[in-house]
Amino acid sequence: MTGAKAKALLDAPILPTLLRLAAPGLLLVVFQSAISISDTHFVGRLGTEPLAGLALVFPLVMLLQMTSAGAMGGGISSAIARALGAGDAARARALVVHGLVIAVIAGLVFTLFVLLFGQGIYRLLGGEGAALAAALAYSNVLFGGAVLVWIANTFASVLRGTGNTLVPALALVAASLVHIPLSAALILGWGPFPQMGIAGAGLAYVVGFALASVGTGLYIWRSPLRPLRGDWHLVGRQFREILRVGLISSVSALQTVFTAVVLTGLVGRFGTAALAGYGVGVRLELLQVPLAFAIGQALVVLVGTNIGAGRPERAKRTAFIGAAIAAGICLAIGATVALFPRLWVGLFSADPAVLDSGAAYLRIVGPFYPFMGAGIALYFASQGAARVVWPVLAGTARLVIVIGGGLIALALAAPLSALYWVIALGIVIWGSATIWAVHASDWSRPA
């Protein structure tokens, strides 16, 4: 980030600057959603068991992405934005090196963890027989390349920290354009490609991120952030600058995944149709998360730069403008599906029991989606300010409510709608607590 670019982030009108930084991420959402849909479609042509195997691995893939892009990635973006906001280019270059070291180590840990414990985890989630075999075939290939996923997301986070959200988005869009046809060809054995089955989807995933890491890496090495000889000296202070945000944020990612697993287990007690209807509703939530994430990544940059430059008031004003935008988007979606739930649920099933379950979920939970949007946006803003403890604790409160309230509902033999109200309450508490935490936090004090 040049001095002129930093000045623009510090002095330009907040709303148009925020929208400009968020726009590439919103474009990326379209292509990442296309990957999810296409992989599900082509794996589904192999049969029910491979499709079930894909679902078993999904929570760990979600954890891989959330920790590398959202948690540790947010820590890297925040640290670099604060360094550049303070005019310390040397510290920013050193942070690139330290972020890369963290990425390599974390990627190897993911690979080792899944190879050692993946089978046990998938069995715990209900995998057995052909479904379990499919999960392992997909998982072993995908997580074998976890280092490449971490490096690509780390380089993307470095660039976002400089205020450049366009290049990482374009790199990941290009990776998506490679992934989709390559995945189909490897899964089904089109043309000269071998038929790898579900493992082909895992290989396409790794190849896409490998290409993204090369593209973003070359861009960084041709920019002012290219590390110099002295920047490769590793020091604890630079690691702490990233990890004090990234490690705590990783706890939030773990909580999010664990909450999803717990909720799936609780709803599953009400039968297959209830679980299918709930799954359709949650799919809509998962489409909103990347939208809020795009706004949140822009907030990391803007808030971090302003904090580094000693402008906490502007940083906090930026945070709440971003939260209002995210909440508004989620309100429009939530209100629509609450009033007309079958417009969404009917896209996926014609089973009356599934339609009833999904419609009930959207009518109850949909109106509270704005709390989710605001909570995600302010969580990322807190990363930019290097103050994530209270937003993470807000996520802990949601987890406690979901587990406690869900178990009580089951113990009392309450109807499925009661569990949906517990889910809605968890979202409200999470969002409200995050709003309060950011409002009450004194960003003028050193973090």
For the stretch 116-141, pLDDT in tens is 999 998 888 778 888 899 999 999 99
Q: pLDDT tens for residues 303-360?
A: 999 999 999 999 999 999 999 999 999 999 999 999 999 888 887 677 888 889 889 9
pLDDT-derived band at 37, boundaries 50, 70, 90: confident
Q: For position 1, what pLDDT does the model report? A: 53
The answer to whether 149 and 209 have CB atoms below 8 angstroms apart is yes
Percentages helix, strand, coil for the chain (3-state, rounded to 5) are 85, 0, 15
Distance CA 162, CA 300 (A): 10
Q: What is the pLDDT of residue 3?
A: 54
Q: Is 3 exposed, middle or buried (0-12, 13-18, 19+ CB in 10 A)?
A: exposed
The whole-number average pLDDT for the span 395-424 is 93
Q: Which two tokens stand for residue 155?
A: 């380089």
| Residue 188 confidence (pLDDT) above 90 | yes
Contacts of 355 (CB under 8 A, 6+ apart): 277, 342, 345, 346, 349
Per-residue pLDDT of 289-304, as tens digits, reads 888 888 998 999 999 9
> What does the pLDDT read at residue 82?
93
- pTM of the model as a whole: 0.86
CA nearest to 250, candidates 146, 102, 95: 102
Q: According to the model, what pLDDT value does residue 6 have?
A: 66
Question: What percent of the chain clears pLDDT 90, i.e. is strictly above it?
Answer: 71
As a whole number of angstroms, the distance between CA 294 and CA 290 comes to 6
Angle at 380 between CA 175 and CA 8, to 5 degrees: 85
**Mean pLDDT, rounded, for 277-292:** 79
d(CA 25, CA 157): 12
What per-residue confidence (pLDDT) applies to 437?
95
DSSP secondary structure code for residue 388 in this structure:
-
* Averaged confidence pLDDT in the chain: 91
